[in-house]
Every structure is written in C-alpha cells, then in structure tokens.
C-alpha cells in the first residue's frame, strides 16, 4: 500500500519563498546571492526607517519650538506620543501578517513609499498649520504620532522576513533590532547637528524622502533580480 503524506497548507503572507531555498532544479529556488542581496536590502530599508523616524521627530520638535517658542514642558508628552505610535505601527503590521496573504516584500515596498511620501509632504503641512495656534498644536501632535506609526510598521515585517531563513528568533531579532537602532543613532546625530541647522525643515525632509526612495529602489532591485533568476531557471 502506497502511503502519501499530505502537503503542507500555504503559509500566510503570500510569497514566503523570498528567503527559502529549494533544490537547484526548482524554479522557485534562489541562489545564495539573491537571498543575501534581499536580506541586506531589507536591513538597509529598516535602518533608513529608523533614521527617518527619529529625524522626523526632531524636525517636528524644531517646528513646535519655532511656532510656540517653548518645548520643554511638552517634551515628555511628545516623546510619549511618538512611542505610542511605534507600538501602534508594530501592532498594525502584526495584524496584517496574521490576517493577510499579501506578499511581504511587496508590503515592505508599500511602507517604504508611504514613509517617503510623508517626509516629502510634512513641511507643507507644518507650514499650512503654522498660522493657527490651537490647530497647529493639535496638528503637530498628530504628525508626531503618525511619524511613530510609520516608523513602527516595518520592524515586525523585516523581522518576520528574516525568520524565514533563520529559525533562531534571537538572532533574527538581534540583527533587525541593531539595524533599526543604528539608523536611529545616525538620524539623531546628523539631523540635530547638521541637517536642520544647515538645511532647515524643508531641506531635511527632502533628504529623508530621497533616502526612503533610495531604499525602496534597492528592494525593487531585489525583486527584479528574483525575476531574472526565475527566467533563467525556466
């Protein structure tokens, strides 16, 4: 009697083969170069998100200071709102991972585009609210919370992607956590010391938008590379 084993059900998250390698004869298999390239580009994207998130917070702190002339008594509230946004962004992504069949690399590209767009339009939104005292305070508070949400979106997604090729949760979390914090450290130093003092809010946000577009292009290149490899295997 022939015994057959049931095939495993498809995993949520769409194309999980982004990090899985199979036999060389399989058209779904990818060579080690592609896997390394994709993982590196995802780490770069996460680092630039950490960079952009803390930079946007600093930009908004400067905007608050310029509009109201004081910031110290609101500093704790502003930082708390940003941290709440981080937690909310991570929660949203975890829900998407659990409930959706979207391809996770494509979802990461969407997040990259949204963050870049937000950085690009933020100076115009700040300028539009600068003439209204109460509206500006409420608006800037919302902008800080939104910056936190957008920053928190990517970490659980990139961490989940890394766990597809490395089952050691501690290693995956450590690598992604380090990338996020290295980006945030550089963002805090460069934004506070160089970008805002020399370039102002508009110039700083333009640099952040270009940074996120660049990391988006890197991930898109990984997708292009995957298609090229599939074409050769076919």
Q: What are phi and psi of 59, to 5 degrees?
A: -60, -45
Q: Taking all residues of the chain, what is their mean pLDDT, rounded to a whole number?
A: 82
Contact 43, 179 (CB under 8 A): yes
Q: Is residue 183 part of a domain?
A: yes
Residue 6 has pLDDT above 90, yes or no: no
So what's the pLDDT on residue 226? 72
In percent, the amount of the chain with pLDDT more than 70 equals 80
Q: Where is pLDDT greater, at 190 or 163?
A: 190
Q: Is residue 64 part of a domain?
A: yes
CATH for 175: 1.20.1250.20
So what's the pLDDT on residue 31? 61
Mean pLDDT calculated for residue range 23-40: 59
22: left (phi over 0), alpha (psi -120 to 50) or beta: beta
Q: Is residue 3 part of a domain?
A: no
Q: Is residue 66 part of a domain?
A: yes
Query: Which tens digit of pLDDT belongs to each residue from 153-176?
Result: 999 889 888 877 666 777 778 889
Range of the domain at 187: 30-233
Q: Is residue 50 part of a domain?
A: yes
Q: Is residue 2 part of a domain?
A: no
Q: What is the DSSP string of 153-222?
A: HHHHHHHHHHHTT---HHHHHHHHHHHHHHHHHHHHHHIIIIIHHHHHHHHHHHHHHHHHHHHHHHHHHH
Query: Which tens digit of pLDDT belongs to each residue from 65-98?
Result: 888 777 777 888 889 999 999 999 999 999 988 8
Q: Is residue 9 part of a domain?
A: no
Who contacts 172 (Cβ-Cβ below 8 Å, separation ≥6)?
159, 162, 163, 166
Which two structure tokens, joined as six digits, stand for 232?
């050769």
Residue 218 has pLDDT above 80, yes or no: yes
13: left (phi over 0), alpha (psi -120 to 50) or beta: left
Residue 183 has pLDDT above 90, yes or no: yes
Closest CA relative to residue 68, chosen from 139, 147, 130: 130
Q: How many domains does the chain have?
A: 1
Mean pLDDT calculated for residue range 119-143: 87
Q: Is residue 24 part of a domain?
A: no
Among positive and negative, which fits the CA dihedral 15, 19, 20, 24? positive
Mean pLDDT calculated for residue range 199-211: 96
Who contacts 23 (Cβ-Cβ below 8 Å, separation ≥6)?
29
Q: How far apart are CA 168 and CA 189, in angstroms?
A: 32
């Amino acid at each position: 009697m022939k015994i057959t084993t049931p095939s495993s059900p498809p995993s949520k998250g769409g194309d999980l083969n982004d990090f899985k390698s199979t036999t060389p004869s399989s058209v779904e298999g990818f060579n080690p170069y592609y896997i390394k390239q994709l993982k590196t580009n995802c780490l770069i994207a996460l680092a630039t998100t950490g960079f952009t998130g803390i930079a946007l917070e600093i930009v908004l702190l400067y905007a608050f200071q310029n509009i109201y002339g004081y910031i110290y008594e609101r500093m704790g509230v502003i930082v708390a709102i940003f941290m709440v946004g981080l937690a909310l962004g991570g929660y949203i992504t975890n829900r998407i991972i659990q409930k959706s069949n979207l391809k996770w690399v494509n979802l990461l590209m969407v997040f990259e585009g949204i963050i870049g767009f937000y950085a690009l339009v933020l100076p115009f939104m700040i300028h539009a609210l600068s003439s209204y005292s109460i509206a500006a305070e409420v608006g800037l508070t919302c902008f800080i919370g939104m910056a936190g949400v957008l920053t928190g979106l990517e970490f659980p997604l990139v961490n989940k992607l890394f766990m597809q090729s490395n089952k050691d949760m501690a290693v995956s979390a450590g690598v992604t956590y380090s990338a996020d914090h290295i980006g945030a450290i550089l963002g805090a130093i460069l934004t506070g010391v160089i970008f805002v003092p020399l370039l102002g809010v508009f110039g700083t946000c333009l640099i952040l938008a270009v940074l996120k577009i660049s990391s988006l292009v890197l991930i898109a290149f990984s997708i292009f590379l995957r298609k090229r490899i599939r074409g050769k295997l076919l």
